[in-house]
Structure formats: structure tokens, C-alpha cells
Chains A and B, each alone.
Chain A
Amino acid sequence: MRTHTPISGRRARAVALALALSASVVTAGCSDFLEVSNPGAIENPSLDNTNYLQLMFDGVVGDFQPAFAWTALFSGAFTDELRMHHTFFENLEIDQRRVTENNGTYALAVFNGLHRARFMADTVAGRYRTLLGDSADADLRYAKTLAYAGYAYTLLGEQICETRINGQGTPLQPSQLFAEAITRFDAAIASADEVQAAAANIANAATRARVIAGADTARNLARVGAARAALNMNNAAVAIAYAQAVTPAYVSDANPGFRFDTRYRQGSSSGETRRMGNPYWEFVSAGGSWVSLSGTPFAGLNDPRVPHDSAGAISVSSGGAFFVPNAPRSHSTYDGTTTGARFVGSGGAAGTLSSIRLASAIEARYIIAEAQGNTAANLLFLNDQRAIGGDLPLVAPSDAQYFAALRDQRAREFFVDGHRLGDLRRYEAFQGVDLWPTGPMYGGTTTFGDQKCWPTPVSELF
């Protein structure tokens, strides 16, 4: 047992006072002490600042472009365009159309990305309106932001079975998503008109011309998008109206008219730079590919719009003799040959520079051809397209023959650029044609599932 020194009252009071003072100082300093810095963050309220207008617009582009590219790639595997050889089971689910709500690959590659693009476009458009008031309409960035928003909604409508917006409310059906898209496209067109009108006041001729060209691009981008959305709503008249307004229009393969590409560069599998790259190089590379055309209706077409190597020229993860796709028509590295240019060469990542076509006059022309049907002008257009792949022209085809041929040519023209899933859904819904692959898949080891749109991921369920 320890002995205890009697407590001196004076000393005890002094000690108690010292402790109390210390505690007061420490407590008072707590709130300051707990302040931490985060140099990598911009808090939400800080964005209500006109200094951030350009940063926000660039963010719209920065999130849309990878979302579009990754959606194009993975929807290719989900539909009949590509066969997925990657051995991770979530990729196989996608290939088989048995995607569960827990499939993180799909969520990360398609659903989340499209919503990031949609959210950024919507929220930046809102901030422009808040910060600039009505003058936002005369800002070209605002017009383009609205067009990107329209495409994000259009892609969501084509891809996803149904989806909430911003984690709230009742899920919107595709027709509602397309309607939302058209609203934004219309606003984009109106804004582009304002931009063009305001450009008349720009004294510098070069600047004025650049602004007017930008307004043209924004307007055409929105027109093609609106036509695409309207077609998916089976609203032929509206689709035709938007499509016919696209200028310069498609004339011929040599004179294709308007085209707008999403741009990529420096893609690599590490860090942030992946967001800037065209993902096809990761999945179709000389060192070993994760996707092929083998077993799909796109193998062996001998069509430059669907180019591929000879079987086995590039190994795939599971080995064997497979047809590996090369840069198709929609990619800027398209070379017009039936073998095509590889997405990436053996010496580097050149393929990551390949841009992907987002909107074009030829798409507007295809929309017209589908919405108007079997007319003489459209048959002429169709036969021109058939000639690219070496097919003979159709002569007085029936409507069924016409639409079958049109579907075939459209599939080739827009190969792996994100159109196919929306097309298959539209054909089934409005043309009564089911082109989804069914039954045994690829050698008979398993069968295709029956999904025809991407499901709602688990993150949306709680």
C-alpha cells in the first residue's frame, strides 16, 4: 500500500487552477485544431462564381466524352456487335445479357458515366442560367452544354431500361428520357440562334466567323440529337424535320456533310489519363484483345465499315482463332480498307487519338430514310450505302426488303459507336423485328440471356 502525502490546500488550489486554465485553453483551441485543408476540392457553394464558367463547361465535355466512348464499347458487347473474351465474370454477364443489379462493371462503364455526363450538363446549364441570367442564351458554351445534356438523356433512353434522375423520384421510361432530351436540344438550338444573332455585334471578323461556326456546330449537334430522340419515340415527322435541318447535309460518301466527333488522346490504363482515352485500345490491342467479332453477324462482311483482321492475327484472352475488330467508320482512324487500322499499334498508344463520331449528317440521312420509308430518294441513298460494302443495288424492293436492307446498312455504318442497342430496341418496338441473338452462344457452352436493356444497378435501389 502506498503512503500518501497530506494535501496542501494552497498547492492543491494552484494545481486545480493550472488544470482548469489548461483545459480552457485546450477546449477553446479544439475547433481551430480540427480545421483541415483539402487542396483537391471545390466545395459546392464555391461554384457559384463566374470565374468558374469555363472550368464548368470543360467539365461537361470532360465527363461526356468518356461516358460516350465506354458506353459505345460495352453496349457493343451487350448487343450483337462484339463478343467479350475478358474472363472477369461481370464482363461475361454483359456478353451473355445476364447483367445483374450487382454488376459493377456495367455500372462503372455505362450507367454511372452517362449519369455523370447528364448531371454535369444539367447542373452546369443551371449554374450558367443562375450566374448569367437571360444572357446565358447568348453564350455558346451554354448552347453546347444543353446539346451535351440532350445526348446524355438520349443515350440513357436508348441504353437503360428505366432510371431515376439525381437519385430521386419515379424512374423515367425511355420515352420520357427522349422527351427530356428534345427539350434540351430545342433549348440548345434556340441558344445557338441567340449566339449567332449576338455575333453580328462582334467587330472582329475572325472572331465573329468562329462564333458563328460554333453556333452552327451546336445547332447541328442538337438537330441530329433531336432527330435521333424523336425517331426513338417513333415520331417520324418530328425526326424528319430535325434531320432535314442539318446543314451541310449528306450528299454522298465523298461529300458527307456535317460531322462532330468526341475527341480522345493519351489514353492509358493508369490514373486519371484513362478518362481522356479512347477505351477501344484497351480492349482491342496488339498484345492481346478482350473482344472479337467471331460468332457475331459482323464477322466476315468484307465491308470497310466493319474492318477486322484475319482470324487469329491478334490473340484474345481465351486463345484460338478469332476476328478482332479494327477502327470502323465512326472512328477517326478509319482507313477505308476491309482490314482496317488497328486501334493501337504494337509500338504505342496511337489508337487513343482516335476520335469517335457523335453526330453527323449521314446519321440525319439515315433517320430520314427510316422515318420516310421506301421512297425513290431513300432507295438511292440505300443503294449508295450498299455499294460501300460491295452489295448490289436493290431494285424495287418491297418495304420489308427495304427496311431489312436499311437496318443492315445502318448497323455497318454505325458499328460500335453506341447506336446498336437503341436500334435493336426501336426495331422491336416499332418495326416488329427482333434482331436480338438468342439460343446457344459462341460454340454452345452457354446461351444468351433475354435482357434487352441495361438494368437498374444496386446503387439505385436503396
Chain B
Amino acid sequence: MSLLRIRLAHAGLVAAMLLMAVAGGLSAQTTGSIRGLVVEATTNRPLANAQVTIVGTNRESLTNAAGEFLMVGVPAGSHTLRVEMLGYATTEQQVSVTAGDPLRVTITLAVSAVTLDQIVVTGTPGATSRRSIGNAITKLDASTMTQQTAITSLTELMQAKSPGVQILPNSGTLGAAADIRIRGAASLTNTKPVVFIDGIRYNTEDLGSFTPSGAGTTSFSGQATSAFNFINPSDIESIEIVKGPAAATLYGAEAANGVIQIITKKGSRGEQTMRWDIRTELAQNDWALDIPDNYTTCTAALQAAVDGAGNPIWPGCQGVSTGTILRENPLRDDPASLREGGVQRVSLSARGGGARYSYYFAGDLTQENGIFHNNYNDRNSIRANFTLQPNDWFDVYMTTSYARGNLRLPVGDEAAQGMLLSAFRGRPGRVTGNPLNSGWATTRAEQANAYNNTTKSDRLTLGTTFNVTPFSWFRNRLTLGMDYTTSLAQVLSPPGSVDADFAGVLSAGLVAQRVPRDFVYTVDYTGSVERPLLTDLVSTTSFGAQAVSRRREIVSATGTGLGAPDITLISAAASTVGGSAFSEQKSVGFYIQEMFGWKNRVFLTGAIRADDNSAFGEAFDWIYYPKAQFSWVLSEEPAVSGLLESARINSFRFRTAWGEAGQAPSPFSASQIYTVDRAVLPDGSVVSALRPSSFGNPELVAEHGSEFEVGFDAGLLDDRLGVEFTYYSKKMKDVIVAVSAPGSSGFAGAFYGFTASVLENLGETANSGVELGLSMSPVRTARFAWDANVSLATNSNELVDFGDARTELIVSGQSYGSVQRHREGYPLAGYWFTVPLRDASGAPIPLTPTTVQLDTLQYIGPSAPTREISFANTFTVLRDFRVFVLLDHKGGHYLWNYKEFNRCALNQNCERVNDPALANHRDRPIWTATNAHGYWIEKADFIKLRDVSVSYTLPSRITQRFRANAATLTLAGHNLAMWSDYSGIDPEVNGYGNRAFGRADVYPVPMLRRWSAALNFSF
């Protein structure tokens, strides 16, 4: 379906929906109204965004920031009000409505750590209670989190919030994408979970930015960018994280890495009012961590060193005594280097609804500056969500969102022209080349700042979901969606804007543009039939079909040799080159699932899914994924409930699940293909020429993952302590590995412009671990309440077997040493190296003046965290003050501290090799050894004070002056403190952020500290 047709269809549906809504609103009847207030038990704090429904009807409402709700047009008579909110026990209250007489009610919600009856989105139509599902699902209350913290992106929203979900942010550069892994890495080619937004497959591909680690358009390391964060966090109602194959049967051949379901905010039918929310936020990013100084110890050799023209190479060492130590810090001392990056954000939303419709409109403007003068990441977005229910058996939900991003990336990571590389390798007192670069290793801040690498992106997401319930026992849901992203990535360097020694190609003038367009289409039908089989036995049969089509088109062009600074057209350049790329992948799948529910407390589910994918080889057709689940609410069993209550266990559910899911290979990977490239003939002419492109593997099949999990949910101490425990064991077979095609095949990659690998199904990986979530309310009084959440997760990752004669694969692209290997029996991408040998006294054994003797190759440790603990605390003081504190720990892993290795061993400008007090330190020969990489692979454990915020709800006497229902002032800080033994700056960084497994501290930007002040008004 073309983009135009989808847009037209969408516009038509919007118009029809509005007409029906108006018609519905004109109907009149004998009614009254309910005006209510929802407050938290004990503290009497008003609760915003609680969902209020009238049982047996479709009428619903959401509380505003003052905890108030209004329902008008309610038929006279007795009704049951049900109030639900994440983190609170569902409450029902009987009310009696009199025609023409407004009813006022106050409903109290008690904090509940266990919510067995919480509704989750699992892929089947209708409401699915958490109690019936055998696997762990994390549901994040995004709405509350965005209110009380300084979160600006979806990634930050998910960070340290869910056990088993690893967010590895890689870099503090604004716009750099994080790695997201759920229950560890199982695949060697793709570790990303699948993301859906309101049921529509959401593109998480790279924006197509020019890699910011190379001058010009080269790319060999650096940070990926992502469309993942093109959503306003304030638009998100909740996020559900489905962890792994046990639950992913419903999501298809790409869900083996888990599923993230984003549910955006909606209005509520029957409210008949409009609520406005305005949030303004000012913030500041800064570099909060240490900036190491550079040192030079002036030796006689340095004083005597001259260049080819006889000039001293170390002028700073001239005229001083031998042994003088020079000390500089170009990053700190040069005002052109770092800045405090301001953040401004305004978001506005309106939500409400009538008897048969509801709506949510929102928009936001976010301008965020990084700590480099040429790093910013702006986002503007608008969203419109409509729901229309013309009658009791049919409703349609339509979502439209548009986001525009404007990103500028600094040159960084291991690029020679990167400001951090140049600063940290700087050698005080030395001048090579341009004297202006004195103190810097390669180039100065002014030059690095001139690097102009921008990406302007537009994203349009359209979706329509039809819910049809022809009978109460038969539900159907059809979702049609499209996610379209396009970018204009550009590197622009007018001639003369940078020195030739920054990069010759840039100094001559360069403009390079790349325009990727990503289309993702989703068609998802699912139905369910619910039938009573016996008095207490209910059968629910679900079935469905999904089709997803993804297409990426890229057009690119580069012009070099611009004649004048004002000329930026590629066509005006002295030399131009263009290119285009295309990839397409389609998948289709069917499933059927049967769930038996016994007395609404014992649930047994079985399902099977069949998938086919355009990337499968000729020797492969459909693949089948079965699953089975069991859930038993033991605390509702009369035989054991007394026993549990005596142990002060209020609720207890046992659950277990087993299932399979897969992961399709990348497009076109099965076929052996040639392509056409340009070549120079001996007469100098340039012609189109055939070249081998892809070796192909017609035997390629999808990766096949199976997962078993078992656990329990318990509520203790009057539901003031909630425990969720899960043990999981996940295996992935037929793991797709990208290996170089045999070099002698003629299809292997070469060094001049392209690489070619072949995908093979090799071996097996395993992940296991435990996930523990504790929800507590240790103190709860009218004046003070303390709510805490502890999240703990472990992950044991192993490459079990390659399935052929090989025992290891070197992780590709490690420019400064093969320190990471995929080796059988060890974690994927674990760190391996030869550590220094030591004598009986523990001293290293020198080999040459710049090397030490090394032991044999040995395993040092994993590169990804094996344990994660987060501790979130919310303190409510005097009802109107809320303090939120989040501590985040990751540990058990290592990081290759290349930066410090380079400074000490190769540049000898680090403190420890220049400090006279450490001249005789036992390990000094290692510090200066050029071969002791293993020494610098360091434990990367850390604890970070990730978030601290203070929110104050202004008194109503103040808010009423603004005609507002409520106003909240929030002061927040992000990444405020860190505790770690890692000798680098930040153990969270990774200069290979654009790779699946490579992890090294090669001059990436550390995580930024952010202070923010936000004011929320609700009308």
C-alpha cells in the first residue's frame, strides 16, 4: 500500500469518526452526573490518571492532576464505580445517580504491591488479566515517571526500571543510541528487542547519520543513532516489556530478543470534559565527572629532539631543568572545548471524550544541547489519538503521530580528529605541525567544533485498530499501521573552515548527504472465542495473523572540492559521487492459542505459531513456534489460603512458561548475488563493472530460541510488600553468525570500499538468570510515606557451541587489539588477553624497554553486566512533597580501557607514569608496556545516583489563581554521582556503540549530568 493511499484512508477514517462522534453526542436521555475525587489511602494525596469506569458500561474517565474526575450523562440508577491504577489495589464502590442531580463521591485507593488483576497487552484482543499469564511481564508506569523525573527520552525512561532489561547507553553524546538487551544477548547478529507502539511495529533502525567518528564520511567506529527516541515520553501511558520467547509466540519470527509494547495516552469516553496539561522544563547538561590532566616529564631526550627543520619538538621543555613536569588540561582550560548544554522543553496535551468518543492531543518542543558546541538534539512532536465507539460491539482507535528531529553530532570516539581523543592524548610542551594545536594531540577544540554533521529526520506513524465484538464471547481486533521515517543526514565543510591537518578532504570543502527512508507496515488480526465448558472451566481460543513489511531506501551523494564557502550544493562541487541502497524484508505468521481457566485462578495455555519470512533460504519454508504456560493463584485456593494468611502472605501466584520464538536473518542473505560497481579501465575511462557482492547461503534458516521460566508473585504484610521472582533459562539454536565468506571464494570482503560476510547457522547460546522485583511501602502515615522498589537481575551468558570445528570467533572491528572473543563455553564477546607475567614477588617481568613478558591467552571476564540492581525510592512528605531517588548498579563485567592504555603506554602523558612518587611502583613497567592490554581490561562495576527529584504540588489557592486544577514544580537531577573503581572516566561508555558486541573505552563522551526544573499545570 502506498504512503499516499494510507494517508487518504486515514483521513477518511478520521472524518467518519468525527461525524459519528457528533451524532453520538446529540443523543439525549434522562441522566445525572458523577463528580469524584480519588485519593491515596493514608496520605490522602490526590491521584492523577486513575482510571474510573462504570461497571457494565463503556463509560470511563481519568482523574486529573487534582485527582478529580467528572462523568456526565450517566443514566439514573445504581451503578458500580471501579477505580484502577498501577500500584494500587483495584477498588469498586456502589453509587446511586439521580436524574439532574450531581453526585459527589470520594474514592480511596490503597497502595498494593501486587496487582494480579492488572490488565496487560499481550497480543490477544480484549482485556487480559496478569493472573492468567504464565510469564513475567513488566509494566512501567511511564506517566508517573515522566512527571517526577528529568527524563527526556524513552531510553532514559526505561533505564534501571525493569529487572532483566539492560540499557547500555554507550555515550553521553546527545543522539547516540543505547543498546537494549532483554535477558542477555542470545544472538550474534541482532540483540535488539522488537518494539510496538499501540500495536504497530515501530522502526528502531539507525537514522542513517554519518558516523560521527570520522572526518568526512568515513566510518569505522562510533555511535549509532536511532529512531527509537522519536517519541515524547510524556505521551506514554505505560510500557510493557515481554521478556523472551515464552511470551513472544504472539509476536513472530523476530521476537526472540523480547518485545517492548508502548501504550500511548488516550482520552476517556464519557468524560465530557477536556483536560489540559502544560509542562515547561529548563535543564542543563554538564560534564560532572573528572577530567584527567595531561603530563610531560621533560627528559634530556625530549629536550634534544628536533624536527626535520631543526626546530625543537618539545619547546615547552626548553629552558627548564631535566625532570620538570609539565601539566595541562586542554579540555578544562580551553573555553572553546566544553560548555554547559541548556535544555528547554515545552509540552502540551489535551484529553477528554464524549459518550462515544475520546481523544488525546499532544505536542512537545524539546531543544537539548550537549557539552560540545556542535552537539544538539532537538525534537518536536505532535500526536492525536482518537477512539470512537459508535455502538457496544464496535470501536475504532486511531493514532497519528509526527515527530521531527534535528541532530548534530560532534566528531568523536576513536576518530583522530575527535576532541576527546585529541585532548586526552595531548602532550604538554610539545608542538608538532600547527602551533595552534599545542597541548592537543591532533587538533584543537575550535577545529573540532567546526565539524558539521547534522541529521534532520521526520517520522510519521499512523495506526488504526478496529475492535469488533459481535458476541460477548467473540472478540476481534484488526490493526493496520505504518511507520515512516526519513532523514537528511549531512556533513558540510565549507572550504577553509578547518585546517588541512584536521582532515584534508574537509579542508578542501565537502558536502555529503544521505537520505534514508524507512517504511514499516503492520497488519495484525487477532480474534478470541471465550466459552464456558463446565461450571468453573472457561475456554479461550485465540487466533491471529500478522504481516510486517519493512523497506529501507537510501540515496546518497557526496561533493568534494567546493569552490567557495557560500556554495553548499553537491552539484557545484569539483568532484561528485552518488549512490543508493535498498533492502526489503517481509514476514507473515499465524498463530492459534488455547487457554483454559479454572475458577479464575488456574490457567493453562498452549499455543503454536507458524512463520515465513522473505529472508529465509530456498531450503527453508515455514517455521513453527509452540508455547505452554501455567498460572495458579494459590492464595485463592481454599485449601492453602489459610496457611498463606497465617504466614502473612496475602496473595501468591505460581507461574511457569515455556515457549519458542525466532529471529529471521537479514534481507537477501540467502542468495548468491553480483552487483555493479564502477571501475577504471587501463585507458583511464570509468565504466560500470560487475563485482561479486554476496556469497549467500541458501541453507539459511531462522534462529530458533526456546525459553523456560518459573516464578511467583506474592503480596505480603497486607500487600505492603510485593515480590516478583523469576528464574529463566533461554537457549538459542541455529544461531546466525556473520562470518567472512571463505577468502578464496572470490566473494569475501576486501579493504577497498566494501565488506562481505556470509550468514551461517552455527551453534547455540544460553542465557539464564533470576529476576527479583520487590515493591515495598515500609512507612505509610498521613504525613510521611516511603515507597520503594528494588529490582535485581542476574544474567549468565554462554556461547555453548559453534556447531563446527571452530571454537572461537574474534569480535570484528577491534582496531586497537583483539581483546574480545566469542569462545565456546564463555560469554559472548568476553574479554580475553594475555595478562602480564609476574615473578614471585608479584612484580612484572620486563621483556624489552617497552614491553613485559606475558602469560598465555586467558579469559578475563564478560563485557556485559552480569548483575543489575536498582533501588528506587519515593518519599511523600506532608502530602504535597514527593522526593524520588533512584540508585542504579551494574556489575560483574569488564571494560577495555583503551584510553588509559594509550595515555600511559603509548603517549606516556597520564599521571601515574609521570608522578615521581610512583616512579618505583611495582606495576610501572606494565603501565608503560605497549603489549600489556590485558592489564587495562578493568572491572567496570559501578553504582550511580541516577535520578533525584523533588516535586511539590502547589496549594490550590495558588493554582486557582491560574484557573488550574493543579500545578506541580519538579526539581530533578540525572546522573548526579558515581562510585566505581574503574580507572577511566565512566565505565558505562563504549566507543563502539554502533556495533553489536564491541565494547571499548575509546574516547566516548561520558554520561552527562542534567539538572532540570519543570512546572506542570493541569487545567
Binding site for B on A (CB under 8 A): 1-5, 7, 11, 15, 19, 22-23, 26-27, 30, 33-44, 47, 52, 55-56, 58-59, 61-63, 65-67, 70, 87-89, 102, 104-105, 107-109, 111-113, 115-116, 118-120, 123-124, 163-167, 260-266, 268-277, 279, 285-288, 310-313, 315, 319-321, 344, 346-349, 444-446, 457-462
Contact check, A116 vs B504: say whether CB atoms are below 8 A apart. no
Given contacts A52-B690, A89-B816, contact A115 B748 (CB under 8 A): yes
A-B contact pairs, 9 of them (CB 8 A): A27-B590, A38-B582, A42-B674, A43-B672, A62-B678, A65-B679, A272-B753, A277-B752, A461-B805
The distance in angstroms between the C-alpha atoms of A157 and B748, with both chains bound, is 19
Contact check, A276 vs B680: say whether CB atoms are below 8 A apart. yes
Residues on B with beta carbons closer than 8 Å to the beta carbon of A265: 680, 684, 686
Q: Which residue of B lies closest to A70 (CB)?
A: B751
B850 at the interface (CB under 8 A from A): yes
Residues on A with beta carbons closer than 8 Å to the beta carbon of B305: 320
Contact check, B501 vs A88: say whether CB atoms are below 8 A apart. no
Contact with A along B446-480 (1 / 0, CB 8 A): 00000000000000000000000011111000000
Residues on B with beta carbons closer than 8 Å to the beta carbon of A34: 586-588, 612-614
Residues on A with beta carbons closer than 8 Å to the beta carbon of B586: 33-34, 36
Contact check, B217 vs A271: say whether CB atoms are below 8 A apart. yes
A26, A35, A41, A344: which contacts B693 (Cβ < 8 A)? A41
Contact check, A41 vs B682: say whether CB atoms are below 8 A apart. no
Q: Which residue of B lies closest to A62 (CB)?
A: B679
The distance in angstroms between the C-alpha atoms of A273 and B688, with both chains bound, is 12
Contact check, A271 vs B743: say whether CB atoms are below 8 A apart. no
Residues on A with beta carbons closer than 8 Å to the beta carbon of B473: 4-5, 7
Contact check, A287 vs B752: say whether CB atoms are below 8 A apart. no
Q: Which residue, B500, B525, B747, B752, has most C-beta atoms of chain A within 10 A?
A: B752
Given contacts A265-B680, A270-B218, contact A40 B588 (CB under 8 A): no
Q: Which chain B residues numbered 557 to 596 have a C-beta less than 8 Å away from chain A?
A: 558, 560-561, 575, 577, 579-588, 590
B323 at the interface (CB under 8 A from A): no
Contact check, B850 vs A445: say whether CB atoms are below 8 A apart. yes
B815 at the interface (CB under 8 A from A): yes
Residues on B with beta carbons closer than 8 Å to the beta carbon of A165: 744
Residues on B with beta carbons closer than 8 Å to the beta carbon of A63: 679, 689, 691-692
Contact check, A2 vs B588: say whether CB atoms are below 8 A apart. no
Contact check, B690 vs A311: say whether CB atoms are below 8 A apart. no
Residues on A with beta carbons closer than 8 Å to the beta carbon of B754: 272, 275
Contact check, A260 vs B682: say whether CB atoms are below 8 A apart. yes
B745 at the interface (CB under 8 A from A): yes
Contact check, A321 vs B308: say whether CB atoms are below 8 A apart. yes
The distance in angstroms between the C-alpha atoms of A23 and B545, with both chains bound, is 9
Contact check, B806 vs A462: say whether CB atoms are below 8 A apart. yes
Distance (whole angstroms) from the CB of A347 to the closest CB of chain B: 7
A3, A263, A271: which contacts B682 (Cβ < 8 A)? A263
Distance (whole angstroms) from the CB of B588 to the closest CB of chain A: 5
Residues on A with beta carbons closer than 8 Å to the beta carbon of B674: 41-44, 47, 59
Residues on A with beta carbons closer than 8 Å to the beta carbon of B504: 285-287, 344, 346, 348
Residues on B with beta carbons closer than 8 Å to the beta carbon of A264: 680
Given contacts A89-B816, A89-B818, A268-B505, contact A58 B810 (CB under 8 A): no
Contact check, A111 vs B743: say whether CB atoms are below 8 A apart. yes
Residues on A with beta carbons closer than 8 Å to the beta carbon of B739: 459, 462
Contact check, A163 vs B472: say whether CB atoms are below 8 A apart. no
Residues on A with beta carbons closer than 8 Å to the beta carbon of B543: 19
Q: Which residue of B lies closest to A313 (CB)?
A: B308
Residues on A with beta carbons closer than 8 Å to the beta carbon of B545: 23, 26
Contact with A along B179-218 (1 / 0, CB 8 A): 0000000000000000000000000000000000000111
B433 at the interface (CB under 8 A from A): yes
Given contacts A7-B473, A271-B753, A287-B503, contact A120 B850 (CB under 8 A): no
Q: Which residue of B lies closest to A109 (CB)?
A: B751
Contact check, B848 vs A445: say whether CB atoms are below 8 A apart. yes
Contact check, A120 vs B472: say whether CB atoms are below 8 A apart. no
The distance in angstroms between the C-alpha atoms of A48 and B679, with both chains bound, is 21
Contact with A along B278-313 (1 / 0, CB 8 A): 000000000000000000000000000111110001
Q: Which residue of B lies closest to A269 (CB)?
A: B218
Residues on A with beta carbons closer than 8 Å to the beta carbon of B691: 59, 62-63, 116, 120
Given contacts A65-B679, A167-B742, A310-B308, contact A36 B667 (CB under 8 A): yes
Binding site for A on B (CB under 8 A): 216-218, 305-309, 313, 432-433, 470-474, 500-501, 503-505, 508, 512, 525, 527, 530-532, 543, 545, 547, 549, 556, 558, 560-561, 575, 577, 579-588, 590, 600, 612-614, 667-668, 671-684, 686-694, 739-755, 804-806, 810, 812, 815-818, 848-851, 906, 930
Given A70-B751, A163-B744, A279-B751, 13 other A-B contacts at CB below 8 A?
A26-B588, A36-B668, A41-B671, A58-B681, A61-B680, A102-B818, A118-B746, A119-B745, A119-B747, A263-B681, A264-B680, A266-B577, A269-B218
Residues on B with beta carbons closer than 8 Å to the beta carbon of A120: 690-692, 746
Q: Which residue of B lies closest to A3 (CB)?
A: B472
Q: Which residue of A lies closest to B674 (CB)?
A: A42
The distance in angstroms between the C-alpha atoms of A459 and B582, with both chains bound, is 27
Contact check, A268 vs B560: say whether CB atoms are below 8 A apart. yes
Residues on A with beta carbons closer than 8 Å to the beta carbon of B690: 42, 47, 52, 55-56, 58-59, 62, 120, 124
Distance (whole angstroms) from the CB of A418 to the closest CB of chain B: 15
Given contacts A44-B674, A462-B805, contact A30 B472 (CB under 8 A): no
Distance (whole angstroms) from the CB of A372 to the closest CB of chain B: 31
Residues on B with beta carbons closer than 8 Å to the beta carbon of A56: 690
B470, B560, B679: which contacts A15 (Cβ < 8 A)? B470
Residues on B with beta carbons closer than 8 Å to the beta carbon of A26: 545, 588, 590
Contact check, A312 vs B561: say whether CB atoms are below 8 A apart. no
Contact check, A37 vs B743: say whether CB atoms are below 8 A apart. no
Q: 7 closest Cβ contacts across the A-B interface? A: A119-B746, A62-B679, A312-B308, A59-B690, A167-B742, A58-B689, A62-B689
Residues on B with beta carbons closer than 8 Å to the beta carbon of A67: 750
The distance in angstroms between the C-alpha atoms of A37 and B551, with both chains bound, is 10
Q: Which residue, B501, B503, B512, B580, has most C-beta atoms of chain A within 10 A?
A: B501
Q: Which residue of A lies closest to B218 (CB)?
A: A269
The distance in angstroms between the C-alpha atoms of A182 and B744, with both chains bound, is 20
Q: Which residue of B lies closest to A45 (CB)?
A: B672
The distance in angstroms between the C-alpha atoms of A421 and B683, with both chains bound, is 28
Distance (whole angstroms) from the CB of B14 to the closest CB of chain A: 26
The distance in angstroms between the C-alpha atoms of A277 and B527, with both chains bound, is 59
Contact check, B561 vs A348: say whether CB atoms are below 8 A apart. yes
Given contacts A87-B816, A89-B818, A444-B848, contact A39 B692 (CB under 8 A): no
The distance in angstroms between the C-alpha atoms of A43 and B755, with both chains bound, is 19
Residues on A with beta carbons closer than 8 Å to the beta carbon of B501: 287-288
Q: Which residue of B lies closest to A58 (CB)?
A: B689
Contact check, B577 vs A273: say whether CB atoms are below 8 A apart. yes
A43, A268, A446: which contacts B671 (Cβ < 8 A)? A43
Given contacts A445-B848, A459-B741, contact A35 B614 (CB under 8 A): yes
Residues on A with beta carbons closer than 8 Å to the beta carbon of B930: 445
Distance (whole angstroms) from the CB of A47 to the closest CB of chain B: 7
Residues on A with beta carbons closer than 8 Å to the beta carbon of B575: 266
The distance in angstroms between the C-alpha atoms of A4 and B856, with both chains bound, is 71
Contact check, B748 vs A272: say whether CB atoms are below 8 A apart. no
Residues on B with beta carbons closer than 8 Å to the beta carbon of A40: 580-582, 675, 693
Q: Which residue, B217, B527, B680, has most C-beta atoms of chain A within 10 A?
A: B680
B590, B679, B692, B817: which contacts A276 (Cβ < 8 A)? B679
Q: Which residue of B lies closest to A121 (CB)?
A: B746
Residues on B with beta carbons closer than 8 Å to the beta carbon of A41: 668, 671, 673-675, 693-694
Contact check, A312 vs B848: say whether CB atoms are below 8 A apart. no
The distance in angstroms between the C-alpha atoms of A164 and B679, with both chains bound, is 27
Contact check, B682 vs A61: say whether CB atoms are below 8 A apart. yes
Residues on A with beta carbons closer than 8 Å to the beta carbon of B741: 167, 459
Q: Which residue of A lies closest to B754 (CB)?
A: A272
Q: Which residue of B lies closest to A352 (CB)?
A: B680
The distance in angstroms between the C-alpha atoms of A115 and B849, with both chains bound, is 41
